[in-house]
Amino acid sequence: MRQLLFFSNNKNKIIEIKKIFKKFNLELLSLNDLNISNEPEEIGETFEENAKIKSDYGFNKTGIPCFADDSGICIESLNWKPGILSKRFLNNFKSKEACFESIIKSTEKKSKQNAYFKTSISLTIKNNQNVIFNGKIDGKISEKVRGRFGFGYDPIFIPKNYIKTLAELSTKEKNEISHRSIAVTKLINFLIN
């Protein structure tokens, strides 16, 4: 069976991705399985660059084809930031609620509601040879914080053509439309073909 390394230490993501890959004749390994604890600095300026830094690092350490992802939210009223700094931006507030309140206020003040989530997956197959798969979901910032499912910015993001926030959708419903699942589907189609 062919091996493939998923460069992540995020338990939830690993469970989700392992489930998706079960159907395929591939042995999916994670960093934990290989006792890799070091991660490279994410010094890229785009989702694509950061995903590539991680997948190249994983391939160079193990010799096993490796993929990595990088995601975040881009908000119009914040000049399409925080983007690649999404995790840090949220953690810099004293609470999630304070962060959401600040985003909702700036959205109202500037009358700019648009936002999107993006995921870039980089797959490194050989030395210096990688392929990028992108997934994007368009939407807007909600007027109120709503919902208890999901994680991160889900409670303030309403996908285009929806009324509910991502945090009001079940995991299954979210996975049908999310930026991450779009990018993962592209990766799988590439691997199958």
Q: Does 107 bind ligand IMP (CB under 6 A)?
A: no
Closest distance to ligand IMP from the beta carbon of 179 (Å): 7
CB 160 within 8 A of CB 116: no
70 touching ligand IMP, by CB under 6 A: yes
Q: Does residue 139 interact with ligand IMP by CB under 6 A?
A: no
Coil vs helix vs strand at 80: coil
Residue 71 is a binding residue for ligand IMP (CB under 6 A): yes
Instruction: Please list the active-site residues.
Output: 70
Pick from 58, 65, 139, 150: which binds ligand IMP (CB under 6 A)? 150
Rule CB under 6 A: choose which of 57, 59, 117, 133 binds ligand IMP.
117
Read out DSSP for 87-124? HHHHHTSSSHHHHHHHHHHHHHHHT--EEEEEEEEEEE
- Sign, CA dihedral 122-69-15-146, equals negative
Residue of the chain from 11, 18, 87, 105 that contacts ligand IMP (CB under 6 A): 87
Residues between 159 and 178 with contacts to ligand IMP, criterion CB under 6 A: 178
Buried b (16+ CB within 10 A) or exposed e, 128-138: eebebbebebe
| Selected binder of ligand IMP within 55, 77, 86, 120 (CB under 6 A) | 86
Taking every pair of Cα atoms in the chain, the longest distance, rounded to a whole number of angstroms, is 55
Quick one: which of 115, 154, 169, 184 contacts ligand IMP (CB under 6 A)?
154
Binding site for ligand IMP (CB under 6 A): 69-73, 86-87, 90, 117, 150-154, 178, 180
